[in-house]
Amino acid sequence: MTSIAMKEAREGLSHLVNRVAYAKERIALARQNKPMAVLVSVEDALFLEAFEERADKEDLELWARTHKPENAISWREAKKMLKGQ
């Protein structure tokens, strides 16, 4: 992964976005040589979102299996509750 200073990133944001979008490069944005954020493609972001959702669903299912059934809620109900926070 390439690391670029925030100042340099500001000056060439359009170029960086093209590198991420078309070359599928991941670029870390750093301040004082400390990575602060990462630019990733939309495909990577969607993959991460799906991965997190799947992990959350698995955690909820595990919790539901190990707790009293009357306290269990559906994944759909849990998502609604989480979005409300």
Summarize the confidence of residues 28-50 as an average pLDDT. 94
The pLDDT score that the predictor gives to residue 85 is 61
Summarize the confidence of residues 6-27 as an average pLDDT. 94
Structure-model confidence comparison of residues 76 and 31, the more confident one = 31
Q: How far apart are the C-alpha atoms of 58 and 11, rounded to whole Å?
A: 42
Which residues, in sequence order, are CB contacts of 17 under 8 Å at separation 6+? 39
Backbone angles phi, psi at 38, to 5 degrees: -135, 135
Query: pLDDT at residue 78 above 90?
Result: no
Query: pLDDT at residue 71 above 90?
Result: no
Q: How far apart are the C-alpha atoms of 4 and 16, rounded to whole Å?
A: 10
Query: pLDDT at residue 53 above 90?
Result: no
* Domains of the chain, earliest start first: 2-40 (3.40.1620.10), 44-83 (no CATH)
pTM here is 0.62
The pLDDT score that the predictor gives to residue 69 is 66
The answer to whether 26 touches 39, Cβ cutoff 8 Å, is: yes
Q: What is the mean pLDDT of the chain?
A: 88
Structure-model confidence comparison of residues 58 and 44, the more confident one = 44
